[in-house]
Amino acid sequence: MPEGHSVHRIARQFAANFEGAPVAVSSPQGRFAAGAAQLDGHEIVQAKAVGKQMFLEFDHGLWLRVHLGMYGAWDFAGDITVDDTLASAKGRMGQTNQRGTVVGAHEDSPWSIGAPRRTRLRMAESEKLEPELETWPPEPVGAVRVRLLTETACADLRGPTACEVQTIEEVDRTIAKLGPDPLVDDVEVGEERFTAVVRKKPTPIALLLMDQSVVSGIGNVYRAELLFRARLDPFRPGREVPEEVVRGLWRDWVHLLRIGVETGQMLTMDDLDPEAYARALASRDDRHWVYHRTGEPCRVCGTGIAMVELGGRKLYWCPTDQV
């Protein structure tokens, strides 16, 4: 269940492991057989992420567009190398806590990015112990929509909302519909675009933050946390939010997205004191200000965290602090 940070990490994985070599493209599940045939045997020349969408450019000018949606995930296998920006996640892999649980198994790792998938993680661990028992290429697990396979690396996609072949014109059209992404667009230009749009709309700011045509990459977790960090009423119409507060939301998104891409986790309490922050890092249940904390006391004022369904998604906020 990825937000923008996961998709940028996936694109970096492809850039580090799949560019510049012929890729066997197949659809073990069958639903993408025609598309796979259009790409099979070509080289990936570029991996690009914009918001929650990822695009792989092949050497004959066709692109693969993937959107993971709620359930989608990529599983990587084989000789997967990570660049420096992903190395911290690799370092956490295989670490165990006192109960023997793999720390970070729910988080993005070099081997699995997207909705939680444990199967491939276990395979990656057993591989270290008994590499001679591993088969290559690995047997597809579940409904694999598309498999990208080089001599040394394998990527399986399951459960995506979107997986299609596009021309460059179609890619451009898709991207044109998206709001600014701090890791794609110049952050100053992005701030102006975001601020101008928000300040015109009568729509509640909570809905605008989730609107991918207003700003790219924010999902339900980051939405709730950004609003709390700004101490902003989620229902305030965009055009009634003071300009400096709107700009602050954008700048905080730039900040949180960078942390998310670096760590593979949606860390939103970095403004805590160091001790509390360390506790938050260590515990999955203690990680957010308001997200998924209905009825629990606000970490600042103690008021019960409120929740309503807005636009089909759950919105969490502190009715006392967010005004």
Partner DNA sequence: TTTGCATGCAAAG
Partner DNA sequence: TTTGCCTGCAAAC
Q: Answer for the pair 209, 256: CB distance below 8 angstroms, yes or no.
A: no
Scan residues 218-237 and list those touching DNA (CB under 7 A): 219-221
Q: DSSP readout, 241-282?
A: S-HHHHHHHHHHHHHHHHHHHHHSS----TTS-HHHHHHHHH
Nearer to DNA, 62 or 115 (CB): 115
Name the minimum Å distance from CB 211 to DNA.
8
Residues with catalytic roles = 2-3, 52, 313
The answer to whether 167 contacts DNA (rule: CB under 7 A) is: no
Q: How far apart are CA 224 and CA 220, in angstroms?
A: 6
Q: Nearest approach, Cβ of 284 to DNA (angstroms)? A: 8
Task: Give the whole-angstrom CA distance, residue 113 versus residue 82.
Answer: 13
Q: Is the dihedral of CA 142, 145, 149, 155 positive or negative?
A: negative
Among 266, 290, 298, 318, binds DNA (CB under 7 A): 266
Q: Rule CB under 7 A: is residue 238 a binding residue for DNA?
A: no
Give the residue with the Cβ less far from DNA, 22 or 137: 137
Output the CA–CA distances (angstroms, integers) from residue 223 to 149, 228, 288, 312, in the order listed.
36, 9, 12, 14
CB under 8 Å to 194, separation ≥6 — which residues? 179, 180, 214, 215, 246, 249, 250
What tokens appear for 16 in the block?
A: 């580090």
Binding test (CB under 7 A) with DNA, winner from 46, 247, 314, 320: 314
User: Binding string, 55-74, against DNA, x = CB under 7 A?
Assistant: ------------x-xxx---
Q: What token pair was written down for 208?
A: 């605008």
Count of residues of this chain found to bind DNA when the rule CB under 7 A is applied = 36
Q: Are 65 and 163 in contact (CB under 8 A)?
A: yes
Q: Quick one: which of 113, 316, 294, 321 has its CA closest to 223?
A: 316
Among 26, 150, 212, 263, binds DNA (CB under 7 A): 212
From residue 284 to residue 313, the character string flagging contacts with DNA as x (rule: CB under 7 A) and all else as - is: ----------------------------xx
**Binding flag, residue 159, DNA (CB under 7 A):** yes
Closest to 108 (Cα-Cα) out of 182, 183, 9: 9
Integer Cα distance of 306 and 291 in angstroms: 10
Rule CB under 7 A: say whether 2 interacts with DNA: yes
Of these, 45, 83, 118, 242, which contacts DNA (CB under 7 A)? Answer: 118
* Closer residue to DNA in complex, CB, 3/233: 3
Q: How far is the CB of 242 from DNA (least distance, A)?
A: 26
Tell whether residue 210 is a contact of DNA (CB under 7 A). yes
Contact set with DNA (CB under 7 A): 1-3, 6, 29, 31, 51-52, 67, 69-71, 105-106, 115-119, 142-143, 145, 158-162, 210, 212, 219-221, 266, 312-314
